[in-house]
Amino acid sequence: MKWILAGAIGACLLLGGGALAETKLPSRDHFLFWTPAEQAFGYKNIEKIFPVRVVPRGKTVSVLPHADAPFDVSYKEDGKTLDTAAFMKANRSSGLIIISHGKVLLERYGLGRTEKDRWTSFSVGKSVTSTLVGAAIKDGYIKSIHSEVTDYLPELKGTAYDGVTIADLITMRSGVKWNEDYSDPKSDVNAFGLTTKPINGQDPVVAYMAKLPRAHKPGTTFHYDTGETELVGILVSRATKKHLADYLSQKIWTKIGTEQDAIWMLDGAGYEHGGCCISMTLRDYARFGLFFMHGGTANGEQVLPKNWVKEASTSHTLVDPKRPDEGYGYFWWIHPHGTYSAEGIFGQQVFLDPKDDLVIVFNSAWEKADEDKNWIAQWDYAAAVMKALHKGK
């Protein structure tokens, strides 16, 4: 088992004005409330702050060739003309890469980050976790997506999770009550992660979730719930009898030509956070996106069930009844015209457009976790990229 333990040392931090200043490592207890300076350092140095487990890479790195011609976009937003540099500055982007038909059209970095620096995923990690569900079904560790959660987590019998299936969990339709307000320190999403020791012999996350009441009939109502992505991660680990980091390495990371080991943040019981916080390089985010968009195959091997990507990237529930063109798949956000994405707070996104064989990866450090204006700005940029690719066709 490979571990990197959190340290308590000072660190040098490159601030926005270019001056070098001495600062303490950001507090792990205020992860969702770090200052912009703490974000810029902490998001690329998670292993110095939190306990993590390494996701070993393979021996061979897949080449991501760059296109011959330079690529950029020019588009208008709120009356202003923006290009990539202006977009990245306005949205506190640490990394942006665009790959179409196997070639890198654009790759840029900001906030003092380089191509060698990893960056935390936040909820982009959810899409990785659901992908491991597919791998575990392909390997026979999990019988079916329609199996009940309590078959694999029996300590949840007699709770609101009775009758809830794995499919209900990975489409956010368990019906269990949950508060995902990132700005409220007392919300479930902030509170459950602070429970770091086993409760009555149970994993602290499982014990916390077991106390929650039911709000809706399972399978009927979409409600975003990071706690349940943690349950899915624990479920996969129990079923495979492997750490998630080891299983990710075995099934995907060693096979898709990643250039660096990834790291996965651990909870108080030593489980990887199924809903969060895998750190990887910008290019390795793109490699994961390509692997998934291309059907879950690597080096000619079918890693996922043949129909998994199609089912995972199909809307199984509406996120907002007022927006029928937006939905939710297996921990993937579904968008119009066949596009979909893995998304995380503070501006993390792996956007996939199979029609153009297009991957756009955004890594950011927004001032606030989840504001519509920031997502709209990111979508406007993606739309400008798609428009530029279609120009002249």
Q: pTM of the full predicted structure?
A: 0.91
pLDDT at residue 204, rounded to an integer: 84
Q: What is the pLDDT of residues 267-288, one digit of tens each?
A: 878 889 999 999 999 999 999 9
Residue 231 lies in a domain: no
Q: How far apart are CA 177 and CA 376, in angstroms?
A: 28
Instruction: Please give the average per-residue pLDDT across 174-203, as a whole number.
Output: 79
173 in a structural domain:
no
pLDDT of residue 199: 62
Nearest residue to 285 (alpha-carbon basis) of 67, 163, 104 = 104
Q: Does residue 159 form part of some domain? A: no
Task: State the Cα–Cα distance between residues 338 and 8, nearest whole angstrom.
Answer: 46
In this prediction, residues 5-13 reach a mean pLDDT of 29
289 within some domain: yes
User: What is residue 266's DSSP assignment?
Assistant: B
Average pLDDT over residues 175-179: 94
Express each pLDDT in 40-67 by its tens digit: 999 999 999 999 999 999 999 999 999 9
Q: Is residue 175 within 8 Å of residue 164, measured between CB atoms?
A: yes
Q: Tell me which of 12-21, 104-113, 231-240, 273-282 is least confident.
A: 12-21
Confidence of residue 219 (pLDDT cuts 50, 70, 90): very high
Residue 213 counted as domain residue: no
Q: Which domain holds residue 349?
A: 3-133+238-390
Please state the domain count of the chain. 1
- Is residue 366 a part of any domain in this protein? yes
33: domain CATH number is 3.40.710.10
- Single-letter residue type at 10: G
The answer as to whether 108 is a domain residue is yes
Give a yes or no: residue 156 inside a domain.
no
Q: Is the pLDDT of residue 16 over 70?
A: no
Return d(Cα 99, Cα 365) in angstroms, integer.
22
Mean pLDDT, residues 187-197 taken together: 74
